[in-house]
A = this chain, B = another copy of it.
């Protein structure tokens, strides 16, 4: 491994039918297939052909009628990602399968079990992107009057992830014996009660499925607030993050990697993969035209609505060709705090009008846009990768499947030629692809101390 050049990890991130808010209007977008399995099978097969580490589906639990035109002019229907991942497990062989699920509106037992199931059915390819949700609307679909406050969401998330991991560990790796002769299906000494009683959950356990092939599904996290960084340093194995400049990305990289030691973790145990929004042309001119085509497809109210939603502040009353108005302080935002700051800074730095700003973020949604020829795209990825800003990237195609096909057919070969990306899958599980260790089992670790087996 030491003789081999360090290679980047790549995730294919799918907003459907594309990361750009107007992607559904793109002439090549198969938007009418948005709920058909054929589209998703094609996306997964294309990403697997490109040797991506994983595909990844974003999620949320409410429609967003942004600026009163969201229902009419943007995309508000999508498959449930965990359900979709299971279907894609059946038609892929190598690629990792990641989905977002919120700790604010789920039960640990259900999520632990669903990810464990996907991990078993796929032979060890599952990953969970832990989010705490960021919209008021979601609370109203779950019999809650208000969205939980930011700090409490993170408290709940930390306990949630801890419980899920213990549920995954509740059947030790050797628990299943399946000895027909002696009628011994499992060794009860290797099956554990959690008897967890915390501030948020009381869970007896064990889970009713044995330990995932990977030990635990790979844990992904995206929040970059102070609370988000601490949770990530404690629990995450991959961070999807959003930075515009290499300086910001390097500072974040150093900051989070520096927090690992106090949790007894190595720097290699956490992969930092910033999001990038690639606009790829065979020439610079073609890339610019592709970008312009998407910009012109954005309905004005949708643009303003998306920007409002990204910064958790309603801009619909303000003149669209003027700069941002005075915004509330970051402490008064009960949404994604880092994204708020990032977009506000971008507007201030380049003195952009509301229209210019929504045109800018309607694609990348706060992530870094990289535009140009395949060589230029590879240059930009390489620069961050080799200068302490990233372990890999989360690729967010503007529209699908075209934007993904361009990346696979044009950029990946360029990265492979430079020795920066794999030519073939060499491992079997997503942990193998990412270079992450299989986690130790909580209940094995505490043996010798008191612990509950199913017998106690």
Tell me, in angstroms, the Cα distance from A319 to B177 when the chains sit together: 30
Q: Which of B61, B143, B180, B205 contacts A141 (CB 8 A)?
A: B205
- Residues in B neighbouring A82, C-beta threshold 8 A: 83, 114
Q: How far is the CB of A149 from chain B (nearest CB, A)?
A: 19
Which residue on B lies nearest to A204, using beta carbons? B140
- Which of A68-76, A376-384, A402-410 binds B? A68-76
Q: A109-B61, A113-B80 are in contact. Are A185 and B74 (CB under 8 A)?
A: yes
Pick the contact of A114: B27, B83, B118 (CB < 8 A): B83
Counting contact residues on chain A (CB < 8 A from B), the size range is 35 or more
Closest to A113 in B: B80
- Out of B73, B209, B454, name the residue touching A78 (CB < 8 Å): B209
Q: Given known contacts A72-B186, A107-B105, A107-B142, is B84 in contact with A87 (CB within 8 Å)?
A: no
Q: How far is B185's CA from A73's CA once the two chains are assembled, in angstroms?
A: 5
- Binary contact track A103-122/B, C-beta < 8 Å → 1, others 0: 00111011001101110111
> Does A327 make an interface contact (CB < 8 A)?
no
**In the bound complex, how far is the Cα of B145 from the Cα of A203, in angstroms?**
10
Residues of B within 8 A of A208 (CB): 60-63, 76-78
The complex places the Cα of A185 from the Cα of B35 at a distance, in Å, of 14
Given A71-B454, A109-B142, A83:B80 Cβ within 8 A: no
> Does A290 belong to the interface (CB within 8 Å)?
no
Which of A88-96, A235-243, A252-260 is near enough to bind chain B? A88-96
How long is the Cα–Cα vector from A88 to B36 in the complex, in angstroms? 15
Partner of A188, one of B62, B72, B178, B183: B72
Q: Indicate whether A210 sits within 8 Å of B143 (C-beta atoms), given known contacts A83-B121, A120-B35, A178-B32.
A: no
- Among B37, B79, B142, B183, which residue has its beta carbon within 8 angstroms of that of A73? B183
As a 0/1 sequence over residues 22 to 34 of chain A, the CB contacts with chain B under 8 angstroms (1 = contact) are 0011110101101
A180 touches B31 (CB 8 A): yes
- A299 interfacial by beta-carbon distance below 8 Å: yes
Check: A187 CB closer than 8 A to any chain B CB: yes
Contact of A83 among B86, B180, B185, B187 (CB under 8 A): B86
In the complex where A79-B120, A90-B91, A118-B83 touch, is A202 in contact with B73 (Cβ < 8 A)? no
B24 lies within 8 A of A180 (CB): yes
Contact of A76 among B141, B184, B186 (CB under 8 A): B186
Give CA–CA (A116, B36) in the complex, Å.
12
A126-B303 Cα distance, complex, nearest whole Å: 37
> Is A176 interfacial (CB-CB < 8 Å)?
yes
- Give the residues in chain B near A230, CB-CB below 8 Å: none
* Residues in B neighbouring A171, C-beta threshold 8 A: 77
Contacts of A188 in B (CB 8 A): 65, 71-72
In the bound complex, do residue B79 and residue A202 qualify as a contact, i.e. CB atoms below 8 Å apart? no
Checking B27, B107, B143, B176 against A203 with a beta-carbon cut-off of 8 angstroms, the contacting residue is: B143
Bound form: Cα–Cα A171–B76 in Å: 11
Chain B proximity of A75: nearest CB distance (Å)? 6
Q: From residue 176 to 211 of chain A, which have CB atoms closer than 8 A to chain B? A: 176, 178, 180, 183-188, 191, 200-206, 208-210
Q: How far is the CA of A75 from the CA of B178 in the complex (A)?
A: 9
Q: Is the CB of B141 within 8 A of A75?
A: no
**Within residues 42 to 70 of chain A, which ones have a CB less than 8 A from any CB in chain B?**
60-63, 65
Give Cα distance in the complex from A140 to B171, angstroms.
Answer: 18
Q: Which residues of B contact A265 (CB under 8 A)?
A: none
**Which B residues are in CB contact (< 8 Å) with A187?**
72
Question: A75 contacts which chain B residues (CB < 8 A)?
Answer: 185
**Contacts of A288-335 to chain B: CB distance below 8 A:** 297, 299, 302
The residues of B that contact A452 with a CB separation of less than 8 Å are: none
A79 to B115, CA, bound (A): 10
Instruction: Tell me which residues across on chain B come within 8 A of A109, comparing CB atoms.
Output: 61, 141-142
Q: Are B37 and A90 in contact (CB under 8 A)?
A: yes
Is A84's CB under 8 angstroms from B141's CB? no
Cα–Cα distance between A105 and B35 once the two chains are bound (Å): 27
A34 proximity list for chain B (CB < 8 A):
178
Closest 10 CB pairs of A and B: A140-B204, A86-B86, A90-B90, A35-B120, A80-B117, A83-B117, A87-B90, A71-B188, A86-B87, A79-B117
